[in-house]
Amino acid sequence: EVQLVESGGGWVQPGESLRLSCATSGFTFSTYRMHWVRQAPGRGLESVATIISNGDSTAYGNSVKGRFTISRDSSKNTVYLQMGSLKPEDMAVYYCAREDQTGSADYWGQGTLVTVSS
Amino acid sequence: DVVMTQSPLSLPVTLGQPASISCRSSQSLVYSDGNTLLSWFQQRPGQSPRRLLYKVSNRDSGVPDRFSGSGSGTDFTLKISRVEAEDVGVFYCMQGTYWPWTFGQGTKVEIE
């Protein structure tokens, strides 16, 4: 069974940093591109970052470029999102998602909430 | 970024009746390999998104056949042939042709 389990969310003040983790199981992690997608309270879905299967290439949404870094560790089947210079508008539930061969997310984690407030 | 525009944003429906959601993209979603990377997701209250359809009209495993997708280029439609109580939630279209992935605003389906 494919599982994606996010962790690391919490409350931080503006300007601070936080690292999210997404532990995966049930599939060959090293063969899939992975994504982080976020959802602000009561709002829609926004792509944050993606990393290809071997970790050699990454891409970011415009609103987080230069502040967030996505990475992966194939020895731990885990993808990370290092978030820096956090702003109140970064407050959201952050989902980890697996991209399949259809160019879409076939599996999603349960999400982890990041609160940015002074 | 590609803009995805859904309508309506709110859709009251009667149990057993059909429902339809429109999704339009600001650019053609035809990928370089000829596929159109348009997906539909359902998000039930308090849950993560769940994919229903991929590449416009292909149903995911376990998705009831009352859900269908159609369209091409920039205009797409999700149809529910007969709405059931478990269909309440917010439905999103998403394009995967260009980075970043972009989503429609969401259509909230509720039972009248």
- pLDDT at residue A112, rounded to an integer: 98
pLDDT tens digit sequence for A43-57: 999 999 999 999 899
Q: How far is B102 from chain A (nearest CA, A)?
A: 7
Q: How far is A48 from chain B (nearest CA, A)?
A: 8
- pLDDT at residue B58, rounded to an integer: 98
Taking CB atoms and an 8 Å limit, are A103 and B31 in contact across chains? yes
Average pLDDT for residues A73-78, to the nearest whole number? Answer: 97
Average pLDDT for residues B51-70, to the nearest whole number? Answer: 98
pLDDT tens digit sequence for A15-37: 999 999 999 999 999 999 999 99
**Mean pLDDT, chain A, integer:** 97
Peptide bond into A14 cis (omega under 30): no
Contacts of B38 (CB under 8 A, 6+ apart): B23, B25, B29, B55, B56, B69, B71, B76, B93, B94, B95, B96, B97
Q: Which of B40, B101, B102, B108 is best to mutate for the A interface (most A CBs within 10 A)?
A: B101
Partner A contacted by B51 (CB < 8 A): yes
Taking CB atoms and an 8 Å limit, are B35 and A46 in contact across chains? no
Residue type, position A96, single letter: C
Model confidence at B29, in pLDDT bands (50, 70, 90)? very high
Model confidence at A98, in pLDDT bands (50, 70, 90)? very high
Percent of chain A with pLDDT over 90: 98
Contacts of B33 (CB under 8 A, 6+ apart): none
CA–CA gap between residue A116 and residue A108 (Å, rounded): 23
Inter-chain CB pairs, A–B, below 8 Å: 68
Of A61, A62, A106, the CB nearest to B51: A106
CA–CA gap between residue B88 and residue B112 (Å, rounded): 11
pLDDT tens digit sequence for B61-80: 999 999 999 999 999 999 99
- pLDDT at residue B40, rounded to an integer: 98
